[in-house]
Homo-oligomer: A and B are copies of this chain.
């Protein structure tokens, strides 16, 4: 238990952010517009014979208000790793979610983020699921992560809902997710699938999420495309994001993205989103950024921004258009 076995790491990302809709506007301090603020502890132990053990504890930090209560909500895992890959136990990101953030130039967070997680609903909107119809993370996951096999890589997860057998529909909260990808040179392609069980005591619902992402780094620009669909409980939402990241000089980077949500169940409930941002690196660890995003909702849609400040709520009514602006600083440690 010497200290040298533990690496402390984190991100603090704070910004002045303004959200403005047809209904209202709000200006304040946002947390994690470029990267989610966090504090973590991790380490790897060499067990010999190519085998390693590792742990990872990572919790959200609210840089704007100190957070509500620190816990390892982002990741808490213990792993065994070797040539065979990695077996990982604990709370972690869903394998199928990794594509949502990887193929969004804004990483599914902040005013620019596409917001393609939990499209059918959170834990309340998607009854009986642990954290929603296709959440970012889940608890009680046993995960297998493959090694790189000639550019191909995969991940398979099972998440326990932990309902006792004498409850009705005791499969609720269980989830199976997977991801398969290929990365070689400038090309990256990956697909994900999740099957999440929900419903009530008497009716079982299965929420299915599909996604496919691709990017190609031309050097002067890296375009990316993401297709995502969620289906379950008689509902369906499809969405896609087309975006790009382009370096500007040695320290700058432009990000743009266009996202469309297509509600296949409810009429006139689509949403269109256009986002642009500029990131300027003061060093490898510290960046300044500015972002702007515009959301247009159909008459029955109320989508806003993936801004994580708890206080700086989205004051958005059905059918509103809205604009989000953010300028801030991100510091890695």
Contacts and interface: CB of A to CB of B under 8 A. Distances in A.
Nearest to A46: B283
Interface string A84-109: 00000111000000000000000000
Interface string A159-180: 0111111110000000000000
A69 B72 CA distance: 8
Nearest to A58: B66
Chain multiplicity (copies): 3
Interface in A1-23: 1-10, 12-16, 23
A160 B31 CA distance: 13
Interface string A55-75: 101010111111111111111
Given A76-B61, A309-B162, A283 B90 contact: no
A133 interface: no
Given A9-B1, A24-B166, A165-B25, A51 B282 contact: yes
A62 B66 contact: no
A306 interface: no
A122 interface: no
B166 A312 contact: no
A333 B5 contact: yes
Given A76-B67, A166-B23, A333 B1 contact: yes
B63 A90 contact: yes
A41 interface: yes
A16 B142 contact: yes
Contact of A28 (B76, B140, B329, B333): B140
Contacts of A3: 3-4, 6-8
Nearest to A7: B3
Contacts of A142: 16, 29
Contact of A78 (B12, B41, B65, B163): B12
B70 A66 contact: no
Contacts of A29: 89-90, 139-142, 160, 162
A41 B39 contact: yes
Contacts of A62: 71-72, 76, 91
B24 A286 contact: no
B6 A333 contact: yes
Given A7-B3, A333-B6, A283 B47 contact: yes
Given A7-B3, A53-B282, A329-B80, A59 B65 contact: no
Contacts of A13: 78
Contacts of A28: 140, 160-162
A69 to B, nearest CB: 4
19 contacts: A1-B7, A1-B9, A2-B7, A3-B4, A12-B77, A13-B78, A14-B77, A23-B166, A26-B162, A27-B162, A45-B285, A45-B333, A61-B72, A63-B72, A64-B90, A66-B76, A66-B90, A67-B71, A139-B311
